[in-house]
Copies of this chain bind each other. A is one copy, B any other.
Amino acid sequence: MQDREKAFIRALVRSNATFGIGDDGVEISNFVVANDAFFEDVHFKRAWGSLESIVEKCFVVNLSDIYAMNAIPRFCLLMLTLPTDFKEVGKLAKIIGNCALKHKVKIIGGDTIAGDKLHFSLTFLGQRQKSRILTRQSIKKGDILGYMNPSSVLTHTKTQAFGKNTKILKTALRFHQHRKIQSNTRFAKPILYPKMLLELNSIARAGMDISDGIFMELPRLSHLNRLGFKVFKPKGDWLYAPEEYQMLYAIPKNKLKKMQNFAKKHRHSFVPFAKAVRGKYRESKKNWHT
């Protein structure tokens, strides 16, 4: 998100017309509701891969937001623009339908219009669990922050270890429009682990899925929780990697062992990297999206 978009949101919040802004979704009645745009030439290039992989990614990044808040995705509204030069209308509908079926989500409405590019905007409704909604807030001083790293057994290739997306996205942007990107990467094909998330969410104090990169999320978490973070893991790709769509959790210190055991059961590791401290966290680096 660029400065202008941030300025817009700040001004909107000042208007007193907002509620629950700050998390990926918001709790309304029994549901968590979230909306995300997935626009051609902003979030993806059509040349990067198949229609299937584009639709799957569009769904997964949204579903990930819902699971991250400890809810189960049930319904979806789809806003779609169809470019006039786009010939595969029926095929796209079939792919979207199959993707929704696969993820057990019903498409309950939306809007389809003609446009210059293939843009998606999805609104998801997730059903809340009996256990509480997980938000980005309520981190306490002394809590441990960590991210989930899937074991190489689970992933497409070894390049799937957390943090490798930096290189892949840089390459994709350099060659944009002109060639496909590696399809066996989490950048092209993020994977959800819903069963694990719903289990781990109940241990955590706060959580979110990492879309812009941990270095982008830490200042936001710091602001929301009025706490600073002492990063004890040496800086590296893990800090800057965008679009990992893995969970970042804040847990009470005494739950670290439990968290790591649960993660292991699901063939992941929970990698602690920071401790919540008094103060404010600042990091300045630009976002990946243009």
Chain A interface residues toward B at CB < 8 A: 1-2, 4-5, 7-12, 14-21, 24-26, 28-31, 33-37, 39, 42, 75, 77-82, 89-90, 92-94, 96-98, 100-101, 105-116, 119, 121, 123, 125, 289-290
> A8 near B42 (CB under 8 angstroms)?
no
Contact A77 B33, CB 8 Å, known A11-B94, A97-B17: yes
Pair A15/B93 contact, Cβ less than 8 Å:
yes
- Given A28-B125, A31-B28, A75-B28: A100 in contact with B17 (beta carbons within 8 A): yes
Q: Are B111 and A19 in contact (CB under 8 A)?
A: no
Which residues in B have their C-beta under 8 angstroms from that of A10? 93
When the two chains form their complex, are residues A112 and B1 in contact, meaning their CB atoms are under 8 A apart?
yes
**Which of these, B21, B34, B109, B290, contacts A33 with CB under 8 Å?**
B109
Q: How far, in Å, is A1 (CB) from chain B's closest CB?
A: 7
- Nearest CB of chain B from residue A15's CB, rounded to whole Å: 2
Chain A to chain B contacts (Cβ below 8 Å), 5 pairs: A16-B101, A17-B97, A19-B106, A33-B75, A35-B111
Chain B, residue nearest A7 (CB): B89
The distance in angstroms between the C-alpha atoms of A24 and B11, with both chains bound, is 30
Minimum CB–CB distance for A91 against chain B, Å: 8
Complex interface: chain B residues within 8 A of A113 (CB): 1, 5, 37, 39, 42, 289
